[in-house]
Structure 1
């Protein structure tokens, strides 16, 4: 929906109004429709907002939004805001807009900070309460919307993206997270590549109080939805029950005062979203993005589904691309060098959808981590055969490891990586032991906190918001998680050799008869599964880009910044897989663009496509 930015703390150290405007400008792509800044030195407070207008798009709902002595900036969407508004009207509340933003502000007036626990949706919120001189920061249950923070001494700076913080404070490399990035492909905790910059944990509210001396006191309130849900599952849903829950979630996620589209890959997850959306809004358009001009199983299955549902289907094929510009733009927006090659395609798909006039798109992310879609979750199905949770972790690690990248680390960085791996191992084991009655649920819970957060949701948010497109994730909804948690393991995954679909069994059952049989039974990987991007022309192009990054003089500064951790001679001499080369190239592009500020954010779109 938007970009938010702010400062709270000692008034003598707060950024100037001019510097605050400059920091806010780095988030302009997230909110191209309007922007606003609240700057008060006597309060030691800055709140900034760039708006993507979706609900009540008129000026009256622009932010920062002031309600009596409270000031609010908010990124996201609240899907139950109309129900909350009705409750508040009964209490005597008055409204001047029809936005979800005002519902949060008025709800805080009546219910205090408990309003955050009533919200259903995706959000990152900063709310200043002038009565007690405190700042609340809150994030949604799943961490769909980002909120980065840098706390130094008596100040807190926060933003939707790290680049706004980097515009005000110098940053350096977090060596521990760097080793996560190179060994796993994503970070394994709520910290960033940049030392001191952390992410507010999902389902968390932080409250900062500033006393007369200017120092800050922080109070944390945490509501870990996943843990609570798996601890106390409800009644097992039937296939029809599950379908109704998901259809209701999709219906809620279509609330908007602007048109909504669907991103369709032809896989089970996005097909379910498309089918549920079409039932609610038959005229919805579906978009598929492909690297291939020839046979592509994703395009074939997406087209089959659209014919089956009578959906208008738009297919775009990339006809040219300057990979150096493409990768650079992705790196600047992504900020974290997560080794998920789909970031390139997500960036292109978002550009296409925006060019077609849409600000909102429904996507299928989250289903794998909630319903058991990845093959490595199978390690938890027979935990005894794996040698217990510890054996499952080592098998998972082997499946996901980027061993080539680990080999190019300097000795001190290797020690750091091993120390972190031991802590990650213990956290994984503790989580599966916590759910000894269902190790699969423990694995899902672990992955929702790590891989889902940083390999998936961060990618989706950054790549779509790069073009001012809000991506909504219907599978990541409180009611959907509750339904999934009540399913036995056998309705999520089956052992290899079993009859029928092996992953996301309950999802397939719920929408059997609604979707074509070929789509319902389509495997995630394999000949008819997700296209392996490394088997396309992009692979050779990325190899050339890798050589440019590790050998080229233009990246000398970035290599020097990373020299403490990476042996560049080993990088050029060690055999590396395609994914590992991508990881190192993206790391160099990221450090170069964010810490050395050599990227021009106004460069033209580096890719072109044709509609098939």
Structure 2
């Protein structure tokens, strides 16, 4: 885990080296162990390093191989496997790093090499001979990467704040981003709060040279949903167990202290049990507990801790802790979000426990259909497709307190309206009132989001369509962004074994009948039933829920917190 930055310019006088130095300084917490900055012709590449694999100076970046130069953030879990293949093809290696393997793989296979990488990554690779800069991002957007065009050049970094700090961009607020934040509780990528700064899309690479800019999709997350397989439940459970064990094994690769965040829910318990089974030494686990006891999952995780005999640490958090850390939490937000408070505190706990790497259960609910509203998906889609003359009750109910999102089902038949009826934060009327704009502007933006969706998405079962939307919107735009910048605030690398693409693809290819049942996460529980304590899964779902309503002193905390964040964040962005 690191912070990367760089700039390229084909015109004189744009100060790339000084700009990258400023961006490195802004991203110091992302990589406190080492700093690098090198000039390569038209390009300047920089990095702040958090040493995880090969802790020696051999891992210093930027790293070069002939005329290829790289700055890289992330972890490639199959780098040893790729390395063996490259050695057979005549490549020699000087270090034990995955970074050097990426360089050699690119030299061997070019841009096709990105599809061979199994892990999380955001990288910039400069080819001195071709005078071409490549920015590439992993399949699901686990690692962030932003860029802005500057005259005849381009600037990039791991954070929006770093690009702003570079001095190469004069940012202007994107009004549609404000709408997006109030629609979802986060800004939908590739937008950011600034018009000039955009994100490299998940599963894409961007090429920049004198010939222009091209963004290319190298991975299609929809494809597995469209290519269904039909195993028996027994076969699916068996294969799922294999993939879970493999993913956890790969995610345990680390030369730095590693642990598992254990909340007491199904997902973190599964990871802790599997991780403990693959380690010779006792596993480190850590938990956040609350002074507000109704939110505590302590009694559920105690059984797991006793079973795996982990070295467990608990950290107590209450309203006064939130009050004391509130400004730091807001300052850590690279982009506005209503989530991330949980990750902030658990990452702080990991830092205090002496860990550098923590495994998280993020992503499980999206791929195993764990959220309660997956069960409503088919009904909501049916209601949405009714002729308008039969949908008038939806309009009437949308005027009642707590039912405002039903207006999405009434107003449109598209999948974005369907998704917002289940996942949306504010209704268009509420957003218009908050931002003092016409409601039509909100609906226009919703229509743009609809147009951005792949056409074949509509052919899926509503629950599968919802799963894809969750992965590509809520998870990509909110959960992963929050996890990254909140963990990096404490110089902690968060890993997400449930987002191993081999595992995600297998689940995506399964029929909905195997994934959606009366028992949430039926397949996951079945795959782990012998080891997973019954009290962990045979209870109402809590999720890793913080007592935000109590801390903020309001009932509908998400909307109240959103307005606090919106006001604070945009004030922070005001020009002096």
What TM-score results when the alignment is normalised by the length of structure 2? 0.88
The CA distance in 2 between the partners of 1:518 and 1:188, in whole Å, is: 37
- Equivalence for 1:562: none
2:368 to 366, 371, 384: 371
- Confirm or deny: 8 A CA contact 2:9 2:16 kept in the other structure: no
- Confirm or deny: 8 A CA contact 1:328 1:589 kept in the other structure: no
- Equivalence for 2:175: 175
- Equivalence for 2:556: 577
Check 1:301–1:152 CA distance in 2 against 1; reply closer, same or farther (3 A cut): same
1:539-569 C-alpha deviation (Å, 9 max, x unpaired) = 23xx7xxxxxxxxxxxxxxxxxxxxxxxxxx
- Equivalence for 1:508: 525
The CA distance in 1 between the partners of 2:458 and 2:293, in whole Å, is: 48
2:343 to 346, 358, 363: 346
- Equivalence for 1:137: 135
Check 1:91–1:595 CA distance in 2 against 1; reply closer, same or farther (3 A cut): farther
- Equivalence for 1:439: 462
1:521 to 515, 524, 538: 538
Alpha-carbon deviation of 1:310? 2.2
SS in 2 for 1:339: coil
Check 1:12–1:393 CA distance in 2 against 1; reply closer, same or farther (3 A cut): closer
- Equivalence for 1:113: 111
Alpha-carbon deviation of 1:406? 1.4
- Equivalence for 1:401: 425
The CA distance in 1 between the partners of 2:549 and 2:425, in whole Å, is: 20
2:215 to 205, 209, 220: 220
SS in 2 for 1:409: helix
The CA distance in 2 between the partners of 1:413 and 1:172, in whole Å, is: 21
Alpha-carbon deviation of 1:244? 1.4
- Equivalence for 2:331: 332
SS in 2 for 1:12: coil
The CA distance in 1 between the partners of 2:3 and 2:24, in whole Å, is: 8
Please list, as runs of the form range in 1=range in 2, the aligned pairs for 1:99-498 lying within 5 A after superposition.
99-167=97-165, 168=167, 169-210=169-210, 217-234=212-229, 236=231, 237-281=235-279, 283-292=282-291, 294=293, 296-318=295-317, 321=320, 323=322, 326-340=325-339, 343-382=340-379, 385-388=382-385, 390=413, 394=417, 396-399=419-422, 400-403=424-427, 406=431, 408-412=433-437, 414-425=439-450, 430=455, 432-435=457-460, 438-494=461-517, 498=518
- Confirm or deny: 8 A CA contact 1:460 1:471 kept in the other structure: yes
Unaligned runs of 5+ in 1: 211-215, 544-575, 598-612
What TM-score results when the alignment is normalised by the length of structure 1? 0.83
SS in 2 for 1:386: helix
Check 1:439–1:432 CA distance in 2 against 1; reply closer, same or farther (3 A cut): farther
Check 1:84–1:393 CA distance in 2 against 1; reply closer, same or farther (3 A cut): closer
Alpha-carbon RMSD across the aligned residues, in angstroms, is: 2.4
Alpha-carbon deviation of 1:299? 2.0
Unaligned runs of 5+ in 2: 386-408
- Mean Cα deviation higher: 579-588 or 231-240: 231-240
Alpha-carbon deviation of 1:402? 2.1
The CA distance in 2 between the partners of 1:440 and 1:31, in whole Å, is: 40
1:78-103 C-alpha deviation (Å, 9 max, x unpaired) = 00000011011111111110000000
- Mean Cα deviation higher: 414-423 or 242-251: 414-423
- Confirm or deny: 8 A CA contact 2:7 2:16 kept in the other structure: no
SS in 2 for 1:98: coil
Check 1:63–1:506 CA distance in 2 against 1; reply closer, same or farther (3 A cut): same
Aligned length: 542
